[in-house]
Structure 1
Amino acid sequence: MSKTVLITGGSSGIGKAIGEYLSKRGYQVYGTSRNPNRISSSVFPLLKMDVNDTESIEDVISEIIDRSKRIDVVINNAGVGITGPIEETPESEIKKAFQTNFYGPINVIKAIMPHMREQGGGHILNITSIAGYMGLPYRGIYSATKAALEITIEAMRMETLQFGVKMTNIAPGDFATNIAAGRYHSPVLDDSPYKRDYGNTLKMMDEHVDNGGDPLEMAKVVHKIIETPNPKIHYKVGAPLQKFSIVLKRVLPDRVYERLLLKHYGLK
């Protein structure tokens, strides 16, 4: 029997690529979007859901179970980007980023756990970020949201193994998606002491996304993980240098690693 998969944020980018890839391989895929009516070309059903609205989460889960009787895999992919000097980033935008990137996936997990426990198991995959392994200049809030999710899932995985529910974190590097268009940018202010460095870093970040990998690579990794009987806790997907940056942070002295980041971003 084919597995039933729920993907949050399935209307574009990585979520869409994963949904299309799994659909072609016989999975029953359901995606979610805050505005599914705006999407006319999805190859799998898109249901209206906001990860910040617990009632909409419950409604979507109930609808899928009514249709397919169970949910075998949940892919927490919905997220938002945010950039800017932390000093100049509005508190309201910081809270919004945490609301979607951290509290959102936790809301979905809380809602699906009783169903997975009742059916005797399931698999929850969380799309985090390589940025969550390090504090990146002018992307510190985004890094923090993903780091918080990584650590929380490490703990939650140990709590849920007794029920046969597996949890996996998948940290992508830069992929060619529309995340840059939808993220919050603190404005580059003319009178800001960060104007030059932030402006240059913002251009570099946008270039990295534009020149990023094909989201199909993420889809293939997700498929492989779903079909793995005992998946690892953490996976990293991206360019070799991006993945190697995590290794360097683990082995290098803090100040040496900091100097490498400063040089990479042209900040010193």
Structure 2
Amino acid sequence: MDKKNALITGNSSGLGLGLSEVLLAHGYKVFGCSRRGCDLAGDVVDLRCDLSRFDTIGEKLEQLLQGVGALQLVVLNAGILGEIKHISKTSLDELQQIMDINLWSNKIILDWLLQSGIRIDQILLLSSGAAVLGNKGWAGYALSKCALNMLGRLYAHEFQATHIASIAPGLIESSMMDYLCTQADSTEFPALQRLQQARKDGVVLSPVEGAERILETLPRLKEFESGSYIDLRQILAPDEYQALIEARNRP
């Protein structure tokens, strides 16, 4: 049986690194793309790529995926948070920077994959509950992830042989979580208190645990229409998901 291939963006840290580790352990060959590079041992092909430099993305993908005829999994994971602040105090330049990485770089990657001739089984766009909750302070991040969900739905019409899903993986330990729990103002932006309590309660997943959760749900994601947005808690923890949705109209 041929080895499975996976492409992961933003695989140098956090969930992207966890996904690389878990997929390698499950027999995948991992093709990674990140700004800082990944030094994992094993069947990894890794290339440094700055997704803010749109004009270089195609060339980098050509190098990374040279000779690859099939990808069983693509995870467009790379993204930035931006500052938690009032949307009225967030400049267009700040919003543009977030949208460039979280949205437009993914459009460029999807366009390249679409014309590459590579057979692709499944594409995951890493979204967030912030895309639907719209809590105070999430500004550019929420906007970018909401737009990313629609990007996936639109490309589902064009990737006829590929299943696409935008997924919210739940709470994962990362440098982003560090900022949300220690630096952002939870008094001014109360939704952060839920994250801080979750971390205190030990229910925030490690990157490897989050990656295992994603791998576990891969077959079940295909039960949803291609292009869907799916919070993994809908599948694995429906009570937790319902509580999250009920909180959407709070600050």
* 1:11–1:244 distance in 2 versus 1, CA, 3 Å: same
| CA deviation string 1:178-223 (max 9, x = no partner) | 124579x9997xxxxxx9524x666765665675222333312332
Any runs of at least 4 consecutive aligned residues in structure 1 with deviations exceeding 6 A, and if so which? 185-188
Indicate how the Cα distance of structure 1 residues 223 and 12 shifts in structure 2: closer, same or farther if over 3 A, else same. Answer: same
Alpha-carbon deviation of 1:33? 1.3
Q: Secondary structure at the match of 2:166?
A: strand
Matches within 5 A, 1:1-268: 1-36=2-37, 39-41=38-40, 44-66=44-66, 68-82=68-82, 83-115=84-116, 118-161=117-160, 164-180=161-177, 197-198=188-189, 205=195, 208=198, 212-227=204-219, 230-232=222-224, 233-238=228-233, 243-245=241-243, 247-248=245-246, 258=249, 261-262=250-251
Q: SS at 1:151's partner residue?
A: helix
Aligned partners of 1:127 and 1:169 also within 8 Å? yes
Question: TM-score normalized by structure 1?
Answer: 0.75
Between structures 1 and 2, the one with greater helix share:
1
Per-residue CA distance 1:48-73 (angstroms, 9 max, x = gap): 11223234322332223325444332
Q: Are the equivalent residues in 1 in contact too, given 2:46–2:64 (CA < 8 A)?
A: no
SS across alignment from 2:157: helix
- Aligned equivalents of 2:45 and 2:119: distance in 1? 26
User: Cα RMSD over matched residues?
Assistant: 3.1
C-alpha separation in 1, matches of 2:192 and 2:246 = 24
Among the aligned pairs, what percent are the same residue?
20
- Aligned-residue offset at 1:28: 0.6
**Aligned length, in residue pairs:** 239
Mind listing any 5+ residue stretches in structure 2 that lack a counterpart? none
Range moving further from structure 2, 213-222 or 144-153: 213-222
Unaligned runs of 5+ in 1: 189-194, 250-256, 263-268
One-letter amino acid of the counterpart of residue 17, structure 2: K
